[in-house]
Amino acid sequence: MTDASEYQRLRSHLAFLAMTAAAEALPGELDHAAAAKLTHSAFLERLLAVEVDAVDERRRASLTRFASLPSPFTLADFDFSAQPSVDEKLIADLATLRFVEDATNVLLIGPPGVGKTMLAVGLGHAAVAAGMRVYYTTAADLAARCHRAALEGRWATTMRFFANPRLLIVDEVGYLPLPAEAAAALFQVVSQRYLKGSIALTTNLGIASWGKVFNDDPMVAGAMLDRLLHRSVVLNIEGDSYRMRSHRARAEATRRAVAGS
Contact residues for ligand ADP (CB under 6 A)? 73, 78-79, 82-83, 110, 112-118, 202, 242-243
Q: How far is the CB of 183 from ligand ADP (least distance, A)?
A: 21
Q: How far is the CB of 204 from Mg ion (least distance, A)?
A: 8
Calpha distance 115→180 (Å, rounded): 29
Q: How far is the CB of 201 from ligand ADP (least distance, A)?
A: 12
* Piece of 95-103, 113-121, 145-153, 178-186 that binds Mg ion (CB under 5 A): 113-121
Q: Tell me the C-alpha to C-alpha distance, in Å, between residue 71 and each of 103, 141, 199, 208.
A: 24, 17, 18, 30
Q: How far is the CB of 174 from ligand ADP (least distance, A)?
A: 12
Selection from Mg ion, ligand ADP, none that 82 binds (CB < 5 to 8 A by kind) is ligand ADP
Confirm or reject binding of residue 117 to Mg ion (CB under 5 A). Answer: yes
Calpha distance 201→10 (Å, rounded): 51
Selection from Mg ion, ligand ADP, none that 179 binds (CB < 5 to 8 A by kind) is none
* Piece of 35-43, 64-72, 110-118, 175-183 that binds Mg ion (CB under 5 A): 110-118
Q: How far is the CB of 62 from ligand ADP (least distance, A)?
A: 25
* Piece of 40-48, 109-117, 155-163, 253-261 that binds Mg ion (CB under 5 A): 109-117
DSSP 154-191: -HHHHHHHHHSSSEEEEEEETSSPPPHHHHHHHHHHHH
For residues 117 and 160, is the Cβ–Cβ distance under 8 A? no
Calpha distance 132→137 (Å, rounded): 16
3-state percent breakdown (helix, strand, coil) of the chain, nearest 5 = 65, 10, 25
For residues 249 and 212, is the Cβ–Cβ distance under 8 A? no
Contact footprint for Mg ion (CB under 5 A): 117
